[in-house]
């Protein structure tokens, strides 16, 4: 990365000629490998960090002013600590700057001695594609500013801080998975997270000769949020109905595959929604075991089963994701599934390096023929979580 970093430092200097030499931080994007629509019911998820992410260059200021630029957005953003209030809400005119601004507010609430900064962000992560660029910009900012201010805080605390920023300041209802994966991931590992206890475990994930290919359906985001909320409500209602039959059930975590016959007594759509959640949690546990045994084939089969359950039982795929899935199978990829909330968005596939060109060519042509849409492909490896990067990177 040497020369690229030099170039960024040069740009930083041009934007902020009077600033000192900047420190450089990197926060990865993430992809969820398995465990979809299980987070808000306190279940299991297993994401990994990607080597695509957001790089932040920052030098401190003493006057309480923050000046921000992003190479992904035209508009610079500036604000002063004096103008921030604990209960401020995102301001439309700050556009993308709301994410770092929300982070600064949360850091100040924790008592971090931040006194202003000049910042430049550069990203090779697509924004709004479901690879969690929002958690990446949040965690890069939170970690970077905390380090520069020599403020002692764990990455886990920073993950919660960024979740509060997105929930309360930006106003996005989201779980902790994204910030956790972006903050705490370890290279060559996936991260298994229990969304009830927030306990996590690193799971060895040797990609061998595979790479992670993320394919964007290129479907325009539409009424996704309302459908997402509808699923959350259906999942809650299904649990209520199950608890009426089996009173000691307080959460989906009290259910196992043995309860499927009970679940089958419910009606559509509650039966289907509950069945997905219970079987998906089980698949995450199986997927963890498969990775621990280095069994990528078994892992792939669980990815396929996860997609089918999300398509048939949870009904969050839609035409585009199902067509993409089908085309990928035809291309000979058996380690693939939708990832993210669904209704468009991306698939995640593990593809052998020397088959990637062929895979992309087949999927591009056939997906376009069937949907009229041009898919986008991102090829990635795994990565560690948020960190400072030096000259040698």
Contact 54, 141 (CB under 8 A): no
Stretch that binds ligand ADP, among 6-14, 101-109, 133-141, 204-212 (CB under 6 A): 133-141
Query: What are the structure tokens assigned to 37, written together?
Result: 């629509």
- Residues that bind ligand ADP (rule: CB under 6 A) add up to a total of 17
Which helix (H) or strand (E) segment holds residue 263: the answer is: helix 260-263
Nearer to Mg ion, 35 or 138 (CB): 138
Nearer to ligand ADP, 141 or 317 (CB): 141
Enumerate residues 70-99 that contact ligand ADP by CB under 6 A. Answer: 70, 72-73, 96, 99
Query: What are the structure tokens assigned to 264, written together?
Result: 């089958």
Q: Which does 2 bind (CB under 5 to 8 A by kind): Mg ion, ligand ADP, none?
A: none
Contact 292, 272 (CB under 8 A): no
Nearer to ligand ADP, 221 or 250 (CB): 221
269: preceding bond cis by omega (within 30 degrees): yes
Q: In sequence order, what DSSP letters do the residues of 315-369 get, joined into one string?
A: ---HHHHHHHHHHHHHTT--SEEEESS-SSSEEEEEEEGGGHHHHHHHHHHHHHH
Q: Which does 123 bind (CB under 5 to 8 A by kind): ligand ADP, Mg ion, none?
A: ligand ADP
Q: 270-292 and 224-245 helices cross at what angle (nearest 10)? A: 90
Q: Which residues, in sequence order, are CB contacts of 74 under 8 Å at separation 6+? A: none
Cα 120 from Cα 66, distance rounded (Å): 11
If DSSP codes are grouped into helix, strand and coil, which group holds residue 236?
helix
User: For the window 130-149, what string marks contact with Mg ion as x by the rule CB under 5 A?
Assistant: --x-x---------------
Q: Which does 127 bind (CB under 5 to 8 A by kind): Mg ion, ligand ADP, none?
A: ligand ADP
Q: Which of 88, 115, 127, 156 binds ligand ADP (CB under 6 A)?
A: 127
Catalytic annotation present for 178: yes
Least Å distance between CB 32 and Mg ion? Answer: 12
Least Å distance between CB 372 and ligand ADP? Answer: 24
Residue 246, number of CB atoms within 10 A of its CB: 11
> Which of 118, 178, 259, 313 is the catalytic position?
178
Q: Which of 121, 143, 205, 378 binds ligand ADP (CB under 6 A)?
A: 121
* Residues recognised as catalytic: 178
Q: Which residues bind Mg ion (CB under 5 A)?
A: 132, 134
Q: Which residues bind ligand ADP (CB under 6 A)?
A: 54, 70, 72-73, 96, 99, 121, 123, 127-134, 137
């Amino acid at each position: 990365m040497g020369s690229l970093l030099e170039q960024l430092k040069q740009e930083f200097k041009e934007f902020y000629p009077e600033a000192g030499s900047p420190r450089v931080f990197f926060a990865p994007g993430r992809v969820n490998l398995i465990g979809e629509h299980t987070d808000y019911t306190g279940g299991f998820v297993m994401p990994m960090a990607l080597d695509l992410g957001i790089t932040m260059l920052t030098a401190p200021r003493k006057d309480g002013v923050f000046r921000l630029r992003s190479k992904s957005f035209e508009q610079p953003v500036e604000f002063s600590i004096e103008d921030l209030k604990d209960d401020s809400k995102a301001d439309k005119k700050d556009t993308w700057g709301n994410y770092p601004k929300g982070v600064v507010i949360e850091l100040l609430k924790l008592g971090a001695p931040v006194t202003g900064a000049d910042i430049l962000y550069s990203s090779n992560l697509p924004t709004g594609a479901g690879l969690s660029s929002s958690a990446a910009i949040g965690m890069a900012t939170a970690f970077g500013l905390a380090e520069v201010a020599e403020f002692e805080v764990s990455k886990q605390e920073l993950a919660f801080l960024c979740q509060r920023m997105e929930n309360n300041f930006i106003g996005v209802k989201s779980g902790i998975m994204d910030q956790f994966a972006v903050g705490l991931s370890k290279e060559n590992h996936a991260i298994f997270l229990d969304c009830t206890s927030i306990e996590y475990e690193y799971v060895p994930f040797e990609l061998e000769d595979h790479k992670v290919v993320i394919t964007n359906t290129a479907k325009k985001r539409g009424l996704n949020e309302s459908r997402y909320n509808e699923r959350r409500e259906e999942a809650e209602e299904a649990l209520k109905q199950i608890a009426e039959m089996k009173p000691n059930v307080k959460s989906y975590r009290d259910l196992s595959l043995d309860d499927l016959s009970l679940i089958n007594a419910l009606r559509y759509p509650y039966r289907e929604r509950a069945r997905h959640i219970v079987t998906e949690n089980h698949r995450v546990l199986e997927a963890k075991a498969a990775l621990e045994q280095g069994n990528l084939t078994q892992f792939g089969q669980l990815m396929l089963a996860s997609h089918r359950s999300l398509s048939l039982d949870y009904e969050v795929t839609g035409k585009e994701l199902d067509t993409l899935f089908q085309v990928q199978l035809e291309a000979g990829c058996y380690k693939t599934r939708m990832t993210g909330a669904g209704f468009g968005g991306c698939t995640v596939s593990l593809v052998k390096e020397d088959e990637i060109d062929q895979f992309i060519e087949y999927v591009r042509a056939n997906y376009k023929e069937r949907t009229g849409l041009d898919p986008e492909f991102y090829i990635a490896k795994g990565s560690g979580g948020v960190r400072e990067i030096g000259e040698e990177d």
